[in-house]
Amino acid sequence: PADEPGWILAVGRFVRLPEDPRTAEFAIVVGDPFQQEGMATKLMERLSQAAGERGITRFRATLLAGNLPAHRLVRGLPGQVAAERHTGPVDEIEVDLAS
């Protein structure tokens, strides 16, 4: 499937928030055929490390309230949940990253 347009294995990224440069919003997407293989966890570890090297101390995630695997991933970050907001079908979670 690698030669098919739109094919994705996995991607992760974070973007520093202009209003709080020590906080970054992050996102991870894993292609459907490759879910449940630990790729999101590995990407999360690498994103956390890269963020720490750049002075980011907090990650923010916006996720669907019913996406339990995504919630587990965020709560598995090394650090402590600092804030949670629940607005209907969407949750926002902030985690202070471990030093």
pLDDT of residue 33: 77
Note the pLDDT tens digit of each residue in 1-51: 556 667 778 899 999 999 999 999 999 988 877 788 888 889 988 999 999
pTM of the entire predicted model: 0.81
At residue 90, what is the residue type? V
Look at residues 61, 66, 68 and name the one whose alpha carbon lies nearest to residue 85: 61
In tens, the pLDDT along 56-99 reads 999 999 999 999 988 988 888 888 889 899 999 999 999 998 75
Which residues make beta-bridge pairs with 15? 25
